Amino acid sequence: MTTFATSPILLTGMSGAGLSSAARVLEDKGFYVAHNLPPELMVQLLDLCADENSPVDKVAVVADVRSRMFGGSILSAKDELERRDMPVTVLFMDARDDVLIRRFDSVRRTHPLQEDDTLQVGIQREREAISALKARADVIIDSSNLSVHDLRRAMEASFGSMGLDKQHVVIESFGFKHGAPRDADLMLDVRFLPNPYWIPELREYRGTDGPVADYVLESPAAENFIGNFEKMFDSMLSGYRHEGKNFITVAIGCTGGHHRSVAISEEVARRLRQREDLEINVMHRDFDRS
C-alpha cells in the first residue's frame, strides 16, 4: 500500500453551494478529482489509489445528490474506509437557502430533488437527506458571501498545506456588517477594542499594516483578550483531538472586517504558529470590501 501525501477528501454538500468550484481548486492543487461516483465505487477508487503502483497520491471524490441515486450511502462508504485504516476528510459545501435559490434562478436550472414542487421544497428535501453527513463533516465552508476568489482563498486556507499529523486551524477575520460566517467553530467579537476607523490617519490602512496593528495591539484590552483566548483554546484542543476534529475555524469579527479583527487574527495566528502540533492559516474575508 502507498502512503497518501494528504488525507483523501470527500467533497459533498448542497447543490448550488459551489462543489464544482471547490473541485477545480483541488484539481489546481494537484488532486486527482473523481466526480459523482456511487458510494460503493468510492471505496474501490481509493483502494486503487492506495496501491503501491498508483500514480496518484492526492485524491478527492465529489459526491453530490446524483451519487445518492445508487445503493449504499456516503456515510457507509466513509465508515468502510475508516475500518480499512484509510480515513477521509469530509469537506461540506453549504449556502443559505435564499442564495441557493438565486443561483438556481440565475442559471435557469431545476433542483435535482425539486420534482413537481417548488425550488424551496427541493432544497429542503436535500437538507434533510444530507443532515447526518453534514454533522460528521470535518470542514464546512459556507459560500453564501464568498466570491469565486474568496472560495479559493477559503479552500487554500484549509487545504493548502494539509498534512496528516496536525490539527488545522483557520483564523478568519470578518466584518459583522457583512454577516457573521456560519461555518465557524468558534466566533470572537473584538468590537469592544478601540476602533482605528475613527483615527483619520489610520482609516485607509488595514490591520496588516504596521500603524493599525500597533494601534490595536498596544491596547491593554487586546493583550488580555489574546492571552485569555490562548488559554481557552489550549484547554479545548485535547478535546477536539479526542473527538477527531482535525479542522477548526476560529472567526474573529469587528464592524467592517478591515482593522481590529484583521490585526487580532494576525497576532493570534503568529502566537499559535509557535506550536508544533498545529497548522495555522489566516483568511481575511472582508478585507477588500467597503
CA distance 113 to 126: 7
Helix (H) or strand (E) holding 124: helix 119-129
User: Which residues does the annotation place in the binding site?
Assistant: 64-67
User: Which residues does the annotation place in the binding site for GTP?
Assistant: 64-67
CA distances from 197 to 257, 260, 265 (A): 11, 9, 17
CA distance 243 to 238: 9
- Residue 246 CA, distance from chain mean position: 12
Side chain identity at 12, as an amino acid letter?
Answer: T
CA distance 151 to 155: 6
Strands (E) across 74-185 are located at 89-94, 139-142, 167-175
Helix (H, G, I), strand (E, B) or coil at 251: strand
CA distance 15 to 67: 12
C-alpha cell at 268: 493570534
CB 45 within 8 A of CB 88: no
CB 181 within 8 A of CB 162: no
- Residue 87 CA, distance from chain mean position: 18
